[in-house]
Amino acid sequence: MTYENALEVLKKYGQEHVLAYYDELNDEEKQSLISQIEEIDFSIFDVLKEKESDGKEGMITPTEVLTLDTIKEYEFAYKVLGETAIQKGQLALVMLAGGQGTRLGFDGPKGTYNIGLTRDLYIFECQVKTILTVVRTLGRWIHLYIMTSDKNYEATTSFFAEHKNFGYKEEYLHFFKQEMAAATDYDGKIYLEEKGRMATSPNGNGGWYISLKKAGLTQVLENNGIEWLNV
């Protein structure tokens, strides 16, 4: 993306102020800002405009749920359905791993936190070993998608590589980054974190599918006939 392209996009959404300090930046900072503009999904502003114009308020109603009693009653049937889907290769797993271990008093991806008392035991390891139990029981590998944040992608992928993926087959392991959304004021104007950087935040757990799609990983789903995603 060039400066002219970036300006065109910003003008379309009334966000030209993002480039207000462009001339004060060095070449590296300029390129970084242009790259950030290219990565932001501005279409969300179109969605917000539509919501403002339709003037309709939705009704919040309870969603249909399965009670524990019902699950217990049909437990065997559900188990057969699930195992059949796995054995046919129709199921994939998505792990939302963008969080940091801040609340654990740990500076790193939450999944790399060591919870072992008498030996090393990491949160990611526990999750992978649980999945491996199913893989070994049913004799079928399951595609596992792991969504990281932009900040912990390198740390997460390096951690898995260092630990040889905890025994998980590499061709069934897919990492992707969560999309970032621009942070705005109440008038919808994007905040600047600094002169050459927009303020952004992860687009929320609900953004996992669009993030997976933009990473080009839906092709893996289609190529393998995957119909179900357990998140």
Q: What is the pLDDT of residue 66?
A: 85
Q: What is the pLDDT of residue 56?
A: 64
Give 91-141 as a DSSP string: EEEEEE---BSGGGT-SSBGGG-B--SSS--BHHHHHHHHHHHHHHHHT--
Give CA–CA dist 142/131, Å, rounded.
8
pLDDT digits (tens, 9 = 90+) for 171-181: 999 999 988 88
Neighbours of 205 (CB within 10 A): 12
- Return the SS3 of 17: helix
Neighbours of 119 (CB within 10 A): 6
Which sign, positive or negative, has the C-alpha torsion 93, 99, 103, 108? positive
**Average pLDDT of the residues in 200-224:** 86
Query: What's the whole-model pTM score?
Result: 0.77
pLDDT digits (tens, 9 = 90+) for 91-144: 999 999 988 888 888 888 999 999 999 999 999 999 999 999 999 999 999 999
